């Protein structure tokens, strides 16, 4: 295997040499859809290099209209849906990296464009880029650091049966919680080592890993950096982790609430803003919170409840956001208080940041990051004030968040300021996909209904 610390070094002007150096004969061009599912095409390396020259790599536009169960959600414009015109896929060669589980293969993310060169603005990658452009216009740079939780589980071939913990190195499955337990973490050393090796080979900036509260629940921290590359890397991490787990006889799941009696899985998002010189805009020279930081928090407090589908995109997502279930159900803020939806972690001036604790591990990272940064941006633009700092147990504070996906979609649809900035192409596409998924879920009769209603009503 090539040196895992240098594998991903790439001269973006010379992808041909990089492919040859690493013996790549196949490239997967990846286009993230509304749910963060990686769609696209696999093609021989020679064809990939040719596509970089002639820009003749296409994908049906319906790729952005696929619901999570694989069905097409249709389009507001029926004629457009049935004609299903092609999009031009333009690979971002700066994202080219090895596919560690498949020797001879590489991954690359691609952006979608209309044939006349306009960005396909329903694309989550373009959505995040558009928000980052708002920051650039103000001379700001957003710095983010995701923390991603997930469960390792035993194989689950029957979806009607609950998930169970996998068997660890000691031959037993975890039956109780082991938060931050190093011996419990060691039980999964083979899969953890494989995850780290794969991630290093693909150039993912991983930091620390811990055993979380749930049985066989882990959390990985990413090193802080620019938003768009990190969103790419979160999706790659999910894919590589699933591959590593499967090769060790397990499943890895990023569902927000995969096990009813266990903690949910989040994607906590740490955010800071710096100027062109790299100076923080969230803390003053005397280490106090700046006025801008207060407005940024105020923006999240106002807009996050209105755009929750970006952070909780599935019916299952709302099973996680309940008080006293290891997930905040509020939009309160405080310094170093994990019962708040918005937490200011401990640290000095240079580390001043805000942690949005509401996104689930099931969110699309491009959209969760875009939504968080846009809410903060609007707070600064509109000079919104943050509330008084919460103290004590914020779980007891009445929630202003939507409690179901149905309510969340209604509020999202009506959020004019965010809708105006993200655009109708994205809003209509996202609402269409999510509305179809909600309708499909509501047509299912659950085991709870059969258990409690079948012989009693």
- CA–CA separation, 222 and 209 (whole Å): 9
Q: For the chain, give the mean pLDDT.
A: 93
Confidence (pLDDT) at 176: 84
Torsion angle of C-alpha atoms 238, 240, 243, 246, degrees rounded to 10: -60
Please determine whether the domains at 15-120 and 131-422 fall in the same fold group of CATH: no
Residue positions counted in the chain: 457
- CA–CA separation, 193 and 209 (whole Å): 11
175 against 209, higher pLDDT? 209
For residue 274, pLDDT over 90 is answered with yes
The residue-averaged pLDDT of 285-304 equals 96
Strand 140-153 relative to strand 206-211, pairing: unpaired
For residue 76, pLDDT over 90 is answered with no
**Helix, strand, coil in percent for the chain, rounding step 5:** 40, 20, 40
Contact 31, 110 (CB under 8 A): yes
CB atoms within 10 A of CB 243: 18
Contact 57, 91 (CB under 8 A): yes
Element counts in the chain: helices (H) and strands (E) = 14, 15
The residue-averaged pLDDT of 167-180 equals 90
Q: How confident is the model at residue 182 (pLDDT cuts 50, 70, 90)?
A: very high
Contact 264, 319 (CB under 8 A): yes
Assign 378 to helix, strand or coil: helix
N-term to C-term CA, the chain = 63
Q: What's phi and psi for 123, nearest 5 deg?
A: -70, 125
Contact 341, 356 (CB under 8 A): yes
Contact 28, 107 (CB under 8 A): yes
Confidence (pLDDT) at 4: 37
For residue 323, pLDDT over 90 is answered with no
Q: How confident is the model at residue 347 (pLDDT cuts 50, 70, 90)?
A: confident
Contact 281, 290 (CB under 8 A): yes
Confidence (pLDDT) at 216: 95
Fold of 15-120: Ubiquitin-like (UB roll) (3.10.20)
The residue-averaged pLDDT of 234-259 equals 97
Question: What global pTM score does this model have?
Answer: 0.95
CA distances from 335 to 58, 223, 346, 389 (A): 48, 21, 7, 8
Q: How confident is the model at residue 3 (pLDDT cuts 50, 70, 90)?
A: very low
Task: List the beta bridge partners of residue 367.
Answer: none
The residue-averaged pLDDT of 330-359 equals 94
For residue 80, pLDDT over 80 is answered with no
CA angle in degrees (0–180, nearest 5) for 258-263-265: 60
Strand 86-91 relative to strand 58-60, pairing: antiparallel
Q: Where are the domains of the chain?
A: 15-120, 131-422
- CA–CA separation, 131 and 373 (whole Å): 7
- CA–CA separation, 425 and 121 (whole Å): 6
For residue 377, pLDDT over 50 is answered with yes
DSSP structural state of residue 62: G
- The class (CATH top level) of 131-422 is alpha beta
Confidence (pLDDT) at 7: 45
């Amino acid at each position: 295997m090539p040196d895992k610390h240098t594998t991903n070094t790439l001269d973006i002007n010379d992808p041909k040499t990089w492919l040859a150096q690493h013996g790549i004969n196949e490239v997967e061009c990846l286009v993230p859809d509304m749910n963060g599912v990686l769609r696209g095409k696999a093609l021989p390396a020679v064809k990939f290099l040719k596509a970089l020259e002639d820009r003749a790599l296409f994908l049906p536009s319906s790729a952005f209209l696929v619901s999570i169960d694989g069905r097409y959600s249709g389009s507001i414009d029926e004629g457009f849906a049935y004609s299903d015109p092609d999009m031009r896929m333009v690979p971002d060669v700066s994202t080219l990296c090895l596919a560690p589980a498949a020797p001879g293969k590489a991954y690359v993310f691609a952006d979608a464009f209309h044939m006349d060169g306009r960005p396909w603005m329903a694309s989550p990658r373009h959505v995040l880029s558009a928000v980052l452009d708002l920051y650039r216009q103000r001379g700001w740079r957003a710095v983010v650091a995701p923390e991603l939780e997930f469960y390792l589980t035993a194989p689950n071939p029957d979806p009607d049966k609950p998930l169970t913990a996998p068997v660890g190195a000691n031959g037993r499955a975890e039956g109780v919680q082991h938060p931050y337990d190093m011996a419990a973490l060691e039980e999964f050393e083979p899969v953890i080592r494989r995850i780290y090796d794969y991630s290093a080979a693909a150039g993912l900036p991983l930091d620390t890993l811990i055993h979380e509260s749930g049985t066989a629940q882990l959390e990985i921290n990413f090193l802080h950096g620019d938003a768009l590359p990190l969103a790419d890397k979160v999706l790659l991490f999910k894919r590589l982790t699933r591959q590593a787990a499967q090769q060790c006889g397990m499943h890895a799941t990023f569902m927000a609430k995969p096990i009813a009696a266990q903690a949910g899985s989040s994607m906590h998002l740490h955010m800071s803003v710096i100027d062109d010189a790299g100076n923080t805009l969230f803390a003053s020279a005397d280490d106090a919170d700046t006025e801008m930081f207060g407005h940024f928090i105020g923006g999240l407090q106002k807009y996050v409840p209105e755009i929750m589908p970006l952070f909780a995109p599935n019916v299952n997502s709302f099973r996680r956001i309940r008080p006293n279930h290891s997930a905040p159900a509020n939009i309160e803020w405080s310094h170093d208080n994990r019962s708040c939806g918005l937490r200011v972690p401990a640290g000095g001036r240079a580390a001043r940041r805000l942690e949005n604790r509401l996104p689930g591990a099931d969110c699309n990272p491009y959209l969760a990051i875009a939504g968080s940064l846009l809410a903060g941006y609007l707070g600064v633009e509109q000079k919104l004030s943050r509330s008084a700092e919460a103290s004590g147990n914020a779980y007891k504070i009445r929630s202003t968040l939507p409690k179901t996906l149905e309510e969340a979609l209604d509020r999202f649809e009506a959020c004019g300021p965010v809708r105006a900035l993200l655009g109708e192409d994205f809003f209509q596409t996202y609402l269409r996909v999510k509305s179809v998924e909600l309708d499909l879920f509501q047509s299912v009769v659950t085991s709870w209904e059969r258990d409690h209603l079948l012989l009693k009503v």
